[in-house]
Amino acid sequence: MYRPIAVLLALLLLPLATCLTQSELRHRSIYQVLTDRFARPDEHMAPCDLARRRYCGGTWKGIERKLGYIQGMGFDTVWISPVVLNVELEDQDAYHGYWATNMFELNPHFGTKQDLVDLSNALHRRGMYLMVDVVANHVGAVSKATFLPGEMYGPFNSPADYHPYCTPTNWNDQLQVEQCWLDERMPDLNTESPHVVRSLHAWIRTLVKTYQIDAIRIDTVKHVRKDFWPDFVREAGVAAIGEILHGDPVYLAPYQRESIPSILDFATFFHLRRAFENTLGSIGELVEMVRRVHQLFPDPTSLGSFLDNHDFPRLAGISPDSALVKNAAVYPLVNDGFPIIYMGQEHGYAGGEDPFNREAIWLSGFNTKTDLYAMFRSLNAARRAAIASHPPYLSTLLRAHQLNNHSLALTKPPLLSVLTNYGSSIPATVLYIPPTQTGYKPLLPVIDVLTEQILATDPRGGLTVPIIAGQPRVFLPLAVHKNLATKEAWLGITPVKIDTAVVAGQGEGKTPLTPGAAHRRTPSLGHRVLSWLGHAKSP
């Protein structure tokens, strides 16, 4: 008869998530969802004709019912597409959510106010977080010719609330980028207007408070003046990450310095995809971009790292080889900053340009047995173990070492990752990671978290790594993996660290970590590990 009380007490003891601060964003692992394409509330396997660009029936209630599926991969934050009321068109639907009318109203295609509240509460009960996509740059319209601001646009009901129509003719002219329309169906808000600014501030405050949102992802940041964003983020009162669609770190870095402390790492994104899209991809270019990001950004540990999203063809549709895709998909989870995985990556979805990269996930049956689902679960667990065993992990800069034209070692103690673009047809090969690159002590047992193969460093601290069928390798010290680590007993080098107190605009800290005590293997553990080496599980 005491069972109900015990269950209630257990529920009360579950960690309840609270809104995220900017620095806490580093800890998170994010799963990106397009609400309309993730889960239907009725759980029917209804078809979704991508080419028609119509609503397919995904809702907030559908997401709520599949949180276990997301959490099962180890993700703790769910980024959902914009929630606000969108324009209704004849030739297509604004199912993506980026063409708002009245921002103060919700999109009924996705559910009710209570449904969104329920989703937020359900996430928090699981110790998870809600990130909502928001747009402050533009609204949606049927066309430029028929656009007439009125009550349907809420507070933005006057022509003075919008920039005059123009299309950018020079994308290097920042004024054109910020004040012209992105499309004739996307009227550009006049964010120089005090009325527009006040209204946007009121909206974001209300949205965050009403639905207990923990973080926001901000769309089209580069299309609004830089000095608009600090106050907008402050009014939101939660962590924010901005989208600046540009590949040049020289262009991107000032946004982190002046506008939003966290932004999406598009600088690395393009080079990451090129490095792994085929067996001729340039590993050297990726390594060089890592160096430039470290050099130019105020805080590389606050960038959002990703491989796929809803705006670009999926890498699995470009690369002919699943081994290449797996290697590339590892990178965001072992990189600096926080990883973002786009829904469907776990199923190897291979959609091309928009709208074909916006597949209905329910058609996968939410299969939890795929290789990539298991890989993301293992990588998220390894990342959590690294953070728990070595708190400076989050503020320690990744070191990228090119081993040859096809491979690189990524050192972010206590993680060591070895990625290649050999492809699955490569004969078994062996790579050697020297002591200066492993970050490990000599004779240290390590485990590949993806295969559970046990290896050990040599007497100098180097590591010989077999590569089978071009698969990625991600190592943790065995003691860390088994939650046995004390201090930094595995640490063999002094990593470069970013000061955790750094904020945008204050530059990088250079405080080194102090290596821990010398590693001591107990005879029983050493005997057990070395006896396994000859019988280790193959990738």
* Positions marked active-site: 219, 243
Q: Is 292 marked as a binding-site residue?
A: no
Q: Is 178 marked as a binding-site residue?
A: yes
Among candidates 225, 244, 238, 127, which has minimal Cα distance to 176?
A: 225
Q: Is 219 marked as a binding-site residue?
A: yes
396 DSSP 8-state letter = B
Q: Which residue carries 């970050």 as its tokens?
A: 439
Sheet holding 77-80, edge to edge: 239-242, 215-218, 129-134, 77-80, 30-33, 338-342, 304-306
**Chain centroid to CA 233: how far?**
19
Among candidates 307, 289, 302, which has minimal Cα distance to 337?
A: 302
Q: In the beta sheet, which residues pair with residue 402? A: 408
Judged by phi (left if over 0) then psi (alpha if -120 to 50, else beta), residue 457 lies in beta
The angle subtended at Cα 312 by Cα 308 and Cα 317, nearest 5°, is 75
Rg (CA), the chain: 24
Q: Is 321 marked as a binding-site residue?
A: no
Q: Are 25 and 219 in contact (CB under 8 A)?
A: no
Q: What is the DSSP string of 438-456?
A: H-B-TT-EEEETTT--EEE
Q: Which residue carries 């991809």 as its tokens?
A: 281
**Chain centroid to CA 257: how far?**
20
How many CB atoms lie under 10 A from the CB of residue 179? Answer: 19
Q: Is 247 marked as a binding-site residue?
A: yes
Q: Is 271 marked as a binding-site residue?
A: no
User: Beta strand 415-420 with 454-456: parallel, antiparallel or unpaired?
Assistant: unpaired
CA distance 67 to 356: 24
CA distance 130 to 181: 30
Q: Is 359 marked as a binding-site residue?
A: no
List C-alpha distances in Å: 48 to 6, 45, 61.
Answer: 44, 9, 18
Q: Is 311 marked as a binding-site residue?
A: yes
Q: Is 99 marked as a binding-site residue?
A: yes
Q: Is 53 marked as a binding-site residue?
A: no
Q: Are 304 and 265 in contact (CB under 8 A)?
A: yes
Q: What is the DSSP string of 344-403?
A: TGGGT----STTTT---GGGGTT-S-SHHHHHHHHHHHHHHHHHHH-GGGGGBPPEEEEE
Q: Is 138 marked as a binding-site residue?
A: yes
Q: Is 57 marked as a binding-site residue?
A: no
Q: Which residue carries 């660009």 as its tokens?
A: 53
Among candidates 460, 401, 476, which has minimal Cα distance to 431?
A: 401
Q: Are 224 and 137 in contact (CB under 8 A)?
A: yes
User: Beta strand 445-448 with 473-477: parallel, antiparallel or unpaired?
Assistant: antiparallel
CA distance 85 to 271: 36
Binding site: what residues are annotated? 99, 137-138, 178, 188, 217, 219, 223, 243, 247, 311, 358
Binding-site residues for substrate sit at 99, 138, 217, 247, 311, 358
**Bind-site residues for Ca(2+):** 137, 178, 188, 219, 223, 243
